[in-house]
Amino acid sequence: MKTSEINEMTVNEIIEKIDTERAELIRLKLNHSISPLENPLKIRDLRKNVARLQTILHQKQLTEK
């Protein structure tokens, strides 16, 4: 997900997306520990997306104050 796409989202949408991405990340980690994933780079991409979402959420919350 690109930063420009995240900037267009509302705070509530970002929070929902973070929850969804975290759940997916946990599921992928568990699956990877049982049997190797075809593309283990998905874990890294999801982790970076969560961090990107949290950063922009924090920025939006600071500008609202």
- Residue spans of the domains in the chain: they are 3-64
Please give the backbone phi and psi of residue 32, each rounded to the nearest 5 degrees, phi first. Answer: -70, -30
Tell me: pLDDT of 65 over 90. no
Q: What is the CATH number of domain 3-64?
A: 1.10.287
Q: What is the pLDDT of residues 7-54, one digit of tens each?
A: 999 999 999 999 999 999 999 999 999 999 999 999 999 999 999 999
Q: Tell which phi-psi region holds residue 25, choosing left (phi > 0), alpha (psi between -120 and 50) or beta.
A: alpha
Confidence of residue 55 (pLDDT cuts 50, 70, 90): very high
Helix, strand or coil for residue 28?
Answer: helix
Asked if residues 47 and 22 have their Cβ atoms less than 8 Å apart, the reply is no
